[in-house]
A = this chain, B = another copy of it.
Amino acid sequence: MTARINVNEKVLKENDRIAAEIRQQLSEHGILSLNLVSSPGSGKTSLLERTFRELSNRLTMAGIAGDVQTENDARRLEAAGARLVRPIVTGGACHLDARMVQQAMTGLDLSSCDVLFVENVGNLVCPSSYDLGEDMKVVLISTTEGDDKPLKYPAMFRRSSVMVINKVDLMGLSDFDLERVKKNARQINGDLEIFEVSCRQGTGLQDWYAWLTKTAATKKRR
C-alpha cells in the first residue's frame, strides 16, 4: 500500500505541474476556467447547453467535455451552438487529468475567449483529487439524488466554490429537502456559492448567468 500511495503522489505532483501551466496560460488571456463535477446525470451538459445557447451574445465560451466513452456531450454542446468545443474520451479513466485537458486545449483557439468550461467525468469522488488548472470547481447536485450527498461525498463539496442544485422542478416527488441539502453542504463548506436551477424549465438560470458574467469580467480585469 505504501508503494501505491507514493506512486499516486508522484502522479498527482506531475498533474499539479501541468495544471499550473494551464492556469498560467489561461490567466495570461484573462480566461475564467470552471471545472464542472457531479454524479452521472446531474445535468452538467444540460447546464452548459443552456448557458451556451443563452449567453453567447454576451460571452465567448469554450468547452472541453470529458466522458469515459462516447463524444455525446461534446456533440450536444455543438448542437447548442458552441463553436469552441473539444471532447475527451478517457477510455476507462474515472476522471480528467491536467494532461488530457492540456492536450484538448491545443485544438482550441482560446485567444478571444472569456470562459472555458471543463466538463469532468460523471463521478462524485475521484475528480475531486485532480487540479485541472481551473479557477474554481462547480459541483452540481440534482434533487433526485437525495439531500445527503454533501455529507457522503464531502471532498468534492469541500473543494468546490459553487454548488448548482439542478432539477428543482422535480422537488416534491421525493424526500429531497432544499434547506437540508444547503445546510449539509454548508456544514462541509461554508463558503459555497449556491444556485437553485432547473435546466429543463429554465428556472433560476438568470442568477447563474449574472454570476458567470460578473466573475468572467473580474478575471478579465485582473
Which B residue's beta carbon lies closest to that of A92? B155
Give the number of copies in the complex.
Answer: 2
A151 touches B3 (CB 8 A): no
Interface size class of A (residues with CB under 8 A): 35 or more
Most B CB atoms within 10 A — which of A3, A8, A125, A148? A125
Q: Which residues of B contact A92 (CB under 8 A)?
A: 155
- Asked if A189 is an interface residue, CB under 8 A from chain B, the answer is no
Which B residue's beta carbon lies closest to that of A153? B68
Q: Which of A23-31, A105-113, A130-138, A166-174 contacts B (4 or more CB under 8 A)?
A: A166-174
Q: Which residues of B contact A153 (CB under 8 A)?
A: 40, 68-69, 122
Give complex CA distance A149, B40 in Å: 8
A152 touches B39 (CB 8 A): no
Known: A39-B41, A142-B144, A144-B167. A69 touches B154 (CB 8 A): yes
- Asked if A7 is an interface residue, CB under 8 A from chain B, the answer is yes
Residues in chain A within 8 A of chain B (CB atoms): 1, 3-4, 7-8, 11, 39-41, 67-70, 72, 92, 94, 121-126, 142, 144-146, 148-149, 151-155, 167, 169-170, 173-174, 200
